[in-house]
Amino acid sequence: MKRLYYLAIMLSVAYAANATDFKGGLTIWFDRPTTLANKAIWWGHAPEMWKGENKPESAGDTAQNPDAEWESQSLPLGNGSLGANIMGSIEAERITFNEKTLWRGGPNTSAGTDAYWNVNKQSAHYLNEIRKAFLEGDEKKAALLTCKNFNSTVPYESWKEKPFRFGNFTTMGEFYIETGLSSIGMTEYKRALSLDSALAMVQFKKDGVRYQRNYFISYPNNVMVIRFKADQPGKQNLVFSYEANPVSTGKMEADGSNGLVYKAHLDNNQMEYVIRIKALNQGGTISNDNGKFTIKGANEVVFLITADTDYKVNFNPDFNDPKTYVGVNPSETTSTWMKNALALGYDALLEAHYKDYASLFKRVSLTLNDGKSTNDISTPQRLKNYRNGKEDFYLEELYYQFGRYLLIASSRPGSLPANLQGMWHNNVDGPWRVDYHNNINIQMNYWPASSTNLSECTLPLIDFIHTLVKPGEKTAKAYFGARGWTASISGNIFGFTAPFESEDMSWNFNPMAGPWLATHVWEYYDYTRDKKFLKDVGYALIKSSAIFASDYLWKKPNGIYTAAPSTSPEHGPIDEGTTFVHAVIREILTDAIDASKVLGVDKKERKQWEEVLKNIAPYKVGRYGQLLEWSKDIDDPKDDHRHVNHLFGLHPGHTISPITTPVLAEASKVVLNHRGDGATGWSMGWKLNQWARLHDGNRAYKLFGNLLKNGTLDNLWDTHPPFQIDGNFGGTAGVTEMLMQSHMGFIHLLPALPDAWKDGEVKGLCAKGNFELDICWKNGNLFAVTIRSKNGGNCEVRYKDDIFVLKTAKGKTYTLNYLNGKLALNNH
């Protein structure tokens, strides 16, 4: 792969299967071609575009993508570094192309390092004044001081400054493959994405000839592969061209007799990038004149595409060096990858791709009810039927596994983590900069990773967290006089940890973004029980975050620790101690305590963390029976805001549970009832998880249905709107939580099974403690569970009111049946 960070691991598990089989299996497909075969609709890429009514009023207003078919009809492919969308038109195939490190902004913009790094305001000395104002009941003064002093000079909107310092993920351009065919008279069209093989296909019949195109992106070889073929010879008459990102400068040149290479740099920060393409024809002729391929009379054509940038990950950036994130030669890397791909050829590339991908995807299977659903209805029609009340358990299985597919496609070791759109983007700028949103969105991307047996897909997130530590230490000290590190609402690939220029602190003030991210480091360890990882990498990240969280707290005269000032992200006023912030601090301090015990270190710090936990402001129940969101009882039962931050302790945290804190669990139900079962896609995904944690399967299932009906596009992408991938991951995580939970120190089987899923089976789920489970249920009751112990140790299993404790040995498998109201060990 591109850059194997020291956390990266490569897989070598081999599977043998027919990767080209689209009959049955899990397939997203369309029965009609897209209508937009035209070239890119570049939008949101320059300040001059925002004139009059088109000027956005907020960061999200750039979100109305005029390229509607890309958003809802395209098929996404990816290998963590390279991403593409297949449009599948007849006259011309259009493929949007991404490389995940292609970002504007950073210290190498023409603004210089001082303008990029020295944006943290020295505001820590205001904390005493703010807290004094809270003591005196002057909340207006506390809010004013916070809003004025806890922002920075960096705008979030690209049109507000030039050069744009924060930057954004940007497209690498688009490919067009003109076919010389007309859609008139075309029949038997199908555009499909096989989740079982990560292979896309377009096929149709025209003038008695059956045409087929195959597409995949290989992780082992870091190359995109496209094959055009037909069932008759000489039918491939193609023109392959490239449309470059319009805010870059570059040149397309011939690369041998059958190659093209595009070398360019972004105008904003001079980031260099290279796209290398080869065309392999069987029969006919090929030329690469004028920056394009022209192929005539070929029997078959295979295009190989790879790309890279000069971006280098840096855990210890030099704040005086504008090129501290520069260090890769993309001409050399792409040349090596292409040479290796050419040596293998199509069949070997496909085999290596499938072996690698299937070794991840095939770990988990889900069957709901009779499992006899067929795939003879197009995905858009299935969604339409589902919205009209028709049961479709195949669609639910498909959506669940699509989330796992997207995570594999957008987050592999050696790459950056999945961003707001995973890695699929078709414009220069996009919704919310297509960045790393740290106030739930990037975290939600990784909720299903470990539980659905994809723990290694979390490694890019941990690498990303590592890049935030050194810059985050500067932010922690400047704003809060605190040790350790933190981050703010949005991050980029250049270590940005500061808030933005806005004085609207309802969204711009989120100092607990860093600790929330750090909880994922412990989560990775808790599932894998990789003690070496914890010792060498994880603990330092967790400890430093816990130190920041404890330093951030204010010890009031009455001895209670509270987070002043704080907010409930994107919602409500400045407060002297919001429930959300306290819940995150509980979580990271508990993680740090547990980690220090595992490693047998830092007893002194552990004692301090334990003292804070004992005295942090407690959860409170308000006048409506609701869990309070703020320190005062100001909640509005008619408020249906999309964020439910104050339920963090219920999910994704573990400090609220129907089993351990039933009163707080009931108060959480009141909150969810007030907020309702609607909202944006990702919000419904979060509520789905929370109802599952409350053990209400039917309500969780309702949220899952609403997510599919009202938060899902035709290609099963989640929509905020616009397309935002976190809802896909939230949905997959939520279904897993309905079937198995392990966050409370035991494995809870079928804790939120809905009546609709009368019979079923899920195989390969993972529980904390490094256990792998296959669960089968019949007539709404557990039938059997098989547990594979990968680490040994005690395993407490709970189903309904029964508890069974297994003393397991590493590598051994155990089966429990549920008979006569009891879990029993099956010795056979």
Which 8-state DSSP code applies to residue 514? H
* 349-371 per-position pLDDT tens digit: 999 999 999 999 999 999 999 76
Q: How confident is the model at residue 14 (pLDDT cuts 50, 70, 90)?
A: very low
Cβ–Cβ < 8 Å for 105, 166 = yes
Q: Give me the helices (H) in 509-661, please.
A: 513-528, 531-533, 539-552, 579-599, 603-615
The pairs formed by 334-338 with CB atoms below 8 angstroms and a separation of 24 or more are 334/261, 334/274, 334/275, 334/276, 334/306, 334/307, 334/308, 335/276, 337/221, 337/222, 337/223, 337/276, 337/306, 337/308, 338/223, 338/259, 338/276, 338/278, 338/304, 338/306
pLDDT at 37: 57
The count of C-alpha atoms lying within 13 angstroms of the C-alpha of 11, restricted to the half-sphere facing its C-beta, is 21
* 641-689 per-position pLDDT tens digit: 999 999 999 999 999 999 999 999 999 999 999 999 999 999 999 999 9
pLDDT of residue 272 exceeding 80, the answer is yes
- H-helix or E-strand spanning residue 200: strand 199-206
pLDDT at 25: 86
Provide the β-strand partners of residue 103. 169
List the single range of 111-120, 124-133, 516-525 with lowest mean pLDDT: 111-120
Rounded (10°) angle between helices 539-552 and 459-480:
30
* 566-581 per-position pLDDT tens digit: 999 999 999 999 999 9
Q: For 78-140, give the DSSP string.
A: E-SSEEEEE---SSEEEEEEEETT-B--STTSTT-HHHHHTT----GGGHHHHHHHHHTT-HH
Give percent of the chain above pLDDT 70: 93
Q: Which two tokens stand for residue 289?
A: 């004149």
pLDDT of residue 380 exceeding 50, the answer is yes
> Ramachandran region of residue 424, left (φ > 0), alpha (ψ -120 to 50) or beta?
beta
- The three-state secondary structure class of 772 is strand
Intra-chain end-to-end CA distance of the chain, in Å = 44
List the single range of 19-33, 73-87, 798-812 with lowest mean pLDDT: 19-33
| Mean pLDDT, range 88-100, rounded to an integer | 96
The count of C-alpha atoms lying within 13 angstroms of the C-alpha of 778, restricted to the half-sphere facing its C-beta, is 6
pLDDT at 16: 32
pLDDT at 17: 35
181-218 b/e with 16+ CB inside 10 Å = b?
beeeebeebbbbbbbbbbbbbbbbebeeeebbbbbbbb
Rounded Cα distance, 502 and 148, in Å: 9
pLDDT at 588: 98
pLDDT of residue 50 exceeding 50, the answer is no
Measure CA 201 to chain center. Answer: 25
* 187-236 per-position pLDDT tens digit: 999 999 999 999 999 999 999 999 999 999 999 999 999 999 999 999 99
Cβ–Cβ < 8 Å for 708, 719 = no
Q: Give me the helices (H) in 411-512, please.
A: 441-445, 459-480, 505-508
Q: How confident is the model at residue 392 (pLDDT cuts 50, 70, 90)?
A: very high
CATH class name, domain 27-34+74-102+171-362 = mainly beta
pLDDT at 604: 97
Rounded Cα distance, 487 and 465, in Å: 9
Q: Look at the block and give the residue holding tokens 């197009």.
A: 378
pLDDT at 376: 87
> Ramachandran region of residue 52, left (φ > 0), alpha (ψ -120 to 50) or beta?
left
* 807-823 per-position pLDDT tens digit: 999 999 999 999 999 99
Q: Which two tokens stand for residue 456?
A: 């290694």
The beta-strand segments (E) located in 729-812 are 740-741, 747-749, 760-767, 771-778, 781-789, 793-799, 802-808
What mean pLDDT, rounded, does the chain reach? Answer: 93
pLDDT at 424: 98
List the single range of 43-52, 288-297, 443-452, 751-760 with lowest mean pLDDT: 43-52
Instruction: Please report, as a single letter, which amino acid is at residue 456.
Output: E
pLDDT of residue 309 exceeding 60, the answer is yes
Rounded (10°) angle between helices 459-480 and 513-528:
150
> Omega before 56 cis (within 30°)?
no
Neighbours of 546 (CB within 10 A): 29
pLDDT of residue 66 exceeding 90, the answer is no
pLDDT at 35: 85
Which 8-state DSSP code applies to residue 714? T
Instruction: Please report, as a single letter, which amino acid is at residue 253.
Output: E
Which has the closest alpha carbon to 668: 684, 685, 642, 645?
Answer: 645
pLDDT of residue 60 exceeding 50, the answer is no
| Mean pLDDT, range 29-50, rounded to an integer | 64
Sheet holding 822-826, edge to edge: 365-368, 760-767, 771-778, 781-789, 813-819, 822-826
Q: Look at the block and give the residue holding tokens 């070997």.
A: 348
pLDDT of residue 249 exceeding 50, the answer is yes
pLDDT of residue 373 exceeding 70, the answer is no
Three-state SS letters, 717-735? CEECCCECCHHHHHHHHHH
| Mean pLDDT, range 384-396, rounded to an integer | 96
Rounded Cα distance, 45 and 226, in Å: 29
Q: How confident is the model at residue 40 (pLDDT cuts 50, 70, 90)?
A: low
Cβ–Cβ < 8 Å for 790, 811 = yes
In sequence order, the 6+-apart residues with CB closer than 8 A to the CB of 827 are: none
Rounded (10°) angle between helices 726-739 and 393-410:
120
Give percent of the chain above pLDDT 90: 91
- H-helix or E-strand spanning residue 303: strand 300-309
Rounded Cα distance, 219 and 482, in Å: 41
| Mean pLDDT, range 494-505, rounded to an integer | 97
| Mean pLDDT, range 158-162, rounded to an integer | 90
Which 8-state DSSP code applies to residue 55? S
Provide the β-strand partners of residue 263. 251, 274
Rounded Cα distance, 57 and 55, in Å: 7
pLDDT at 687: 98
CB-neighbour burial class of residue 770 (10 A; exposed 0-12, middle 13-18, buried 19+): buried
Record the pTM.
0.96
pLDDT of residue 554 exceeding 60, the answer is yes
Cβ–Cβ < 8 Å for 751, 800 = no
Q: Which two tokens stand for residue 580?
A: 């959300």
pLDDT at 18: 41
pLDDT at 39: 61
pLDDT of residue 13 exceeding 70, the answer is no
Rounded Cα distance, 518 and 585, in Å: 11
Cβ–Cβ < 8 Å for 305, 172 = no
In sequence order, the 6+-apart residues with CB closer than 8 A to the CB of 500 are: 151, 152, 154, 155, 156, 166, 488, 489, 490, 508
pLDDT at 112: 87
Instruction: Please provide residue 243's backbone torsions phi and psi, each rounded to the nearest 5 degrees.
Output: -110, 115
List the single range of 67-71, 87-91, 162-166, 730-734 with lowest mean pLDDT: 67-71
For the chain, domain boundaries: 27-34+74-102+171-362, 125-156+416-618
Instruction: Please report, as a single letter, which amino acid is at residue 758.
Output: K
Which fold would CATH assign to domain 125-156+416-618?
A: Glycosyltransferase (1.50.10)
- H-helix or E-strand spanning residue 575: strand 571-575
Provide the β-strand partners of residue 323. none
SS3 content of the chain, % helix, strand, coil (to 5): 35, 25, 40
Cβ–Cβ < 8 Å for 788, 775 = no
Q: How confident is the model at residue 64 (pLDDT cuts 50, 70, 90)?
A: low
- H-helix or E-strand spanning residue 568: strand 566-568
pLDDT of residue 41 exceeding 80, the answer is no
pLDDT of residue 5 exceeding 60, the answer is no
* 330-354 per-position pLDDT tens digit: 999 999 999 999 999 999 999 999 9
In sequence order, the 6+-apart residues with CB closer than 8 A to the CB of 61 are: none
